[in-house]
Structure 1
């Protein structure tokens, strides 16, 4: 199973179009959205190309391929525009060989405040806008970074899971972080 991860679109149409283009090129079956999809949030500037209704329209074309969780900037009003569920605080993906990926935005659960995970699980979250793919103790911590507002001088990025490996990739194609799972 090949998965494509994006987080923190924050209503930016340009970023969303870039994500959808890379998703199409990746051959992934599932687009995992890790929250903060439509709203820019009160602490962030309004991004260039801010157009939440158009972002929703574009994402709705991929409804059958999306798994999404709610971010701290997402609301019930956003859900009214989206044709796929995105109001859950977390979800799970079950992989072959009993591997599990816990999906969340990162404001409730994250690397430092984990839910009950078993040894060998992974937690995938956004929120910090900082890419990460590494083993911490006995779990994988994975963050695809941010498409719209990357931080700490990282480029805009997305994530991939394929053949037992997590990767964070810049839109220029550089691997920013990776780890086996």
Structure 2
């Protein structure tokens, strides 16, 4: 199955719309959201077209195709309006004999790794900085941020198609690619 990974929408209706357009254009079967869906958080500026209620409606239309984990800006009140589960601190996805450990990145991160085995893939968000790297026998993947990228990055998402992880900007350009 082809997967799209995205993180840190932070209530931006503009970038949520771009993300969903890319999801349709890519033809992915599942959209994996790595947290921070509706609110911008106290350390972030308001993203473009900050409209959490619109984001709720947009995401709920895709509820049968979304897998997600909780971000540090996600709360129980968010779960009351979203029609798909968002409160898990982590998720595990297996695909073609590979194990993906999904996390927002505020609990489990490189300084506090989950129980990974050699060859496992750690997919996270939170930093708003994209990453695709093999390190010490494990793979670290971060699709960057949909709405509030940091360190000079552009708004981005990632596609996993068979064994290739590709990070892309919303203009369709490939930013980084890694075979896993």
Tell me the TM-score range normalised by the shorter chain.
over 0.9
Aligned to 2:172: 173
Q: How many residues align?
A: 180
Aligned to 1:79: 79
Cα offset for 1:112? 2.9
Cα offset for 1:144? 0.3
Aligned to 2:5: 5
Runs of 5+ unmatched residues, structure 2: none
Cα offset for 1:104? 0.5
CA RMSD, 1 decimal: 0.8
Cα offset for 1:173? 1.8
For 2:159 and 2:141, how far apart are their aligned partners in 1? 10
Aligned ranges for residues 1-181 of structure 1 at < 5 Å?
A: 1-96=1-96, 98-181=97-180
Q: Deviations over 1:26-78 (max 9, x none)?
A: 11000000000001101111222111111011100001000000000000011
Q: TM-score, normalised by structure 2?
A: 0.98
For 1:112 and 1:142, how far apart are their aligned partners in 2? 15
In structure 2, the residue corresponding to 1:81 is in which secondary structure? coil
In structure 2, the residue corresponding to 1:84 is in which secondary structure? coil
In structure 1, the residue corresponding to 2:57 is in which secondary structure? helix
Counterpart contact for 1:133–1:179, Cα < 8 Å: yes
In structure 1, the residue corresponding to 2:105 is in which secondary structure? coil
For 2:136 and 2:2, how far apart are their aligned partners in 1? 25
Cα offset for 1:178? 1.7
For 1:136 and 1:108, how far apart are their aligned partners in 2? 20
Q: Which runs of 4+ in 1 moved over 2 A?
A: none
Q: TM-score, normalised by structure 1?
A: 0.97
Runs of 5+ unmatched residues, structure 1: none
Cα offset for 1:174? 2.0
Cα offset for 1:113? 1.9
Q: Deviations over 1:128-163 (max 9, x none)?
A: 000001101111100000011111111110011002
